[in-house]
């Protein structure tokens, strides 16, 4: 009897598995990917999409095509030819024709680990022999927002929000209105979206951009002093302001700062840190304090060995890791191998790449980038050329696989 693996979410940690579905098919394993959208936007190129450097299609992985063409299987309806544990129960066919072979368009809202079932938002249930979560993370707006037509608020995740922010900024600029952009958060994401908002405004012909970053204790805290200096110079050279403090509320088109000051804004980009999805808190699984799925060295739940996960939605038990896309990518091959081992009785592999001194490249939005690889820090157009080459190469390394001849 063939076994069933479900990939819950089309996140970066699942790309390697989606590219090697032939291995699972040969081992008698049917794989289905469940995700709310047929594409995954690559986070590393998101700020470049905001500035207009990249078109949306240039940073998308076609996970639906990868799921079907790589050998993924569409789960049969209840009562079909499969033996007892059919992966479809409940509202069969409720997706309205959105699904395709190997891919189910939907969002997982509940996990029933004892029954080995997932519940989707439309009531459908999927059964599994093993499941892996690659759901990514979300940005939670950490302050009250009073709805106002004057200000559009865009958390920087999901990445698609940056396209909506770009369109909003462009429409305001085309109307000849002042465009006041405020960024909440002074980490790497906050810097990149501020820098690329400046790039977008420049391309729209705005000569005096009104961009401010509310950067907590300072821009890029925890980064080397030289990197911080380069980032500050990059923003200030183009007219941006850096404000100490936190945004504590938004009302009537004005953001209140923890210092008591106020900043008027037409567009508010929120880059105040990420959190795992709320899904796990309702499921009786082993969790980290922030709600992430706790996994062991094999990227496997310590309580339910048929449950795996990778990327931003997990907490790596052996050593806490920062939420950064590089770890999701590094975990991908290990996760793929261990999912296969779990379902075939093979030997699992531990995830050991826990070092934090990885290459970091920040897009400055003006054709330059800041490169950090401790103890080195550089800035220039060649750094952006390197980032572009790495990012495009990564996208091209996971094309939709063609069906076997």
Q: What is the per-residue pLDDT for 317?
A: 87
Please state, in angstroms and rounded to a whole number, the distance separating the CA atoms of residues 369 and 357: 18
The conformational region for residue 313 under phi > 0 = left, psi -120 to 50 = alpha, else beta, is alpha
Q: What is the per-residue pLDDT for 75?
A: 52
**Confidence band, pLDDT 50/70/90 cuts, at residue 100:** low
Q: What is the per-residue pLDDT for 402?
A: 45
Question: Is 338 within the bounds of a domain?
Answer: yes
Please write the tens of the pLDDT for every residue from 178-235: 899 999 999 999 999 999 999 999 999 998 999 999 999 999 999 999 999 999 999 9
Same domain (yes/no): 220, 280: no
**Confidence band, pLDDT 50/70/90 cuts, at residue 90:** very low
| For residue 95, pLDDT beyond 80 | no
Question: Is 380 within the bounds of a domain?
Answer: no
Question: Is 387 within the bounds of a domain?
Answer: no
| For residue 163, pLDDT beyond 60 | yes
Same domain (yes/no): 116, 185: no
**Confidence band, pLDDT 50/70/90 cuts, at residue 78:** very low
Please state, in angstroms and rounded to a whole number, the distance separating the CA atoms of residues 154 and 139: 10
Question: Last residue of a domain, which of 314, 329, 355?
Answer: 355
Q: What is the per-residue pLDDT for 96?
A: 38
Collect all residues with Cβ–Cβ distance below 8 Å to 159 and sequence separation of at least 6: 41, 42, 43, 46, 49, 59
Please write the tens of the pLDDT for every residue from 282-311: 787 878 888 899 999 999 999 999 999 999
| For residue 70, pLDDT beyond 50 | no
Same domain (yes/no): 33, 150: no
Neighbour count for residue 355 (Cβ, 10 Å): 8
Three-state SS string over 213-279 comes to EECECCCCCCCCHHHHHHHHHHHHHCCCEEECECEEEEECCEEEECCCCEEECCEEEECCCEECCHH
Q: What is the per-residue pLDDT for 354?
A: 63
Question: Last residue of a domain, which of 240, 272, 304?
Answer: 272
Q: Do 340 and 23 contact (CB within 8 A), yes or no? A: yes
Question: Is 346 within the bounds of a domain?
Answer: yes
Mean pLDDT confidence for 82-109: 56
Top-confidence residue, 353 or 77: 353
Burial 356-388 (b: 16+ CB within 10 A, else e): eeeebbbbbbbebbbbbeeeebbbeeebbebbb
Distances in Å between the Cα of 158 and the Cα atoms of 96, 166, 182, 213 are 24, 14, 18, 20
Same domain (yes/no): 324, 203: no
| For residue 401, pLDDT beyond 70 | no
Containing domain of residue 87, as a range? 3-137+276-355
Q: What angle (nearest 5°) sits at the alpha carbon of residue 385, between those of residues 215 and 184? A: 15
Q: What is the per-residue pLDDT for 83?
A: 33
Same domain (yes/no): 87, 152: no
Q: Do 226 and 255 contact (CB within 8 A), yes or no? A: no
Q: What is the per-residue pLDDT for 290?
A: 85
Which helix (DSSP H) or strand (DSSP E) does residue 342 occupy?
helix 325-344
Q: What is the CA radius of gyration of the chain?
A: 22
Question: Is 158 within the bounds of a domain?
Answer: yes
Peptide bond into 375 cis (omega under 30): yes
Same domain (yes/no): 131, 13: yes
Same domain (yes/no): 160, 243: yes
How many distinct structural domains can be found in the chain? 2
Same domain (yes/no): 196, 293: no
Q: How much of the chain, in percent, has pLDDT values that exceed 70?
A: 90
**Confidence band, pLDDT 50/70/90 cuts, at residue 29:** very high
* Helix boundaries (H) for 175-224: 188-203
Question: Is 383 within the bounds of a domain?
Answer: no
Same domain (yes/no): 70, 172: no
Same domain (yes/no): 8, 132: yes
Looking only at the bridges linking them, the beta strands covering 29-35 and 103-105 are parallel
Mean pLDDT confidence for 353-361: 82
Same domain (yes/no): 49, 95: yes
| For residue 281, pLDDT beyond 90 | no
Question: Is 388 within the bounds of a domain?
Answer: no
The CATH number covering residue 78 comes to: 3.50.50.60
Same domain (yes/no): 163, 253: yes
| For residue 76, pLDDT beyond 80 | no
Neighbour count for residue 128 (Cβ, 10 Å): 23
Greatest mean pLDDT among 4-13, 286-295, 394-403: 4-13
Question: Last residue of a domain, which of 218, 238, 272?
Answer: 272
Question: Is 364 within the bounds of a domain?
Answer: no
Q: What is the per-residue pLDDT for 323?
A: 80
Q: What is the per-residue pLDDT for 98?
A: 61
């Amino acid at each position: 009897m063939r076994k069933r693996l479900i990939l819950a979410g089309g996140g970066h940690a699942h790309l390697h598995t989606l590219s090697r579905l032939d291995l699972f098919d040969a081992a008698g394993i049917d794989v289905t990917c469940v995700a709310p959208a047929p594409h995954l936007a690559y986070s590393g190129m998101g700020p470049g999409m905001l500035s207009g450097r990249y078109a949306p299609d240039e940073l998308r992985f076609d996970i639906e095509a990868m799921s079907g063409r790589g050998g993924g299987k569409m789960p049969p309806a209840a009562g079909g030819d499969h033996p007892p544990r059919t992966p479809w129960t409940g509202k069969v066919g409720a997706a309205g024709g959105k699904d395709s072979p190997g891919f189910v368009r939907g969002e997982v809202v509940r996990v029933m680990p004892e029954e080995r079932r997932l519940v989707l938002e439309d009531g459908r249930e999927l059964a599994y022999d093993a499941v892996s979560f690659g759901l990514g993370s979300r940005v939670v707006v950490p302050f009250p927002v009073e709805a106002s037509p004057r200000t559009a608020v865009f958390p920087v995740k999901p990445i698609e929000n940056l396209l909506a922010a770009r369109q909003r900024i462009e429409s305001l600029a085309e109307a000849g209105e002042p465009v006041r952009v405020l960024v909440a958060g002074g980490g790497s994401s906050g810097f990149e979206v501020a820098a690329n908002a400046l790039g977008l405004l420049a391309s729209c012909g705005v000569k005096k951009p009104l961009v401010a970053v509310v950067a907590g204790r300072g821009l890029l805290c925890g980064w080397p002093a030289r990197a911080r200096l380069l980032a500050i110079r990059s923003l200030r050279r183009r007219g941006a302001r850096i404000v100490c403090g936190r945004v504590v509320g938004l009302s009537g088109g004005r953001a209140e700062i923890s210092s008591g000051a106020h900043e008027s804004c037409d567009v508010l980009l929120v880059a105040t840190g990420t959190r795992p999805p709320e899904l796990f808190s309702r499921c009786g699984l082993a969790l980290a304090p922030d709600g992430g799925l706790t996994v062991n060295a094999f990227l496997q739940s310590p309580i339910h060995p048929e449950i795996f996960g990778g990327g931003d939605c997990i907490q790596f038990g052996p050593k806490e890791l920062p939420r950064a896309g590089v770890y999701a990518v590094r975990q991908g091959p290990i996760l793929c191998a261990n999912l296969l081992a779990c379902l075939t009785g093979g030997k699992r592999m531990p995830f050991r790449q826990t070092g934090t001194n990885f290459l970091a490249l920040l897009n400055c939005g003006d054709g330059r980038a800041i490169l950090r690889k401790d103890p080195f820090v550089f800035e220039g157009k060649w750094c952006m050329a390197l980032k572009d080459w790495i990012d495009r190469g990564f996208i091209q390394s996971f094309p939709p696989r063609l069906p076997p001849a």
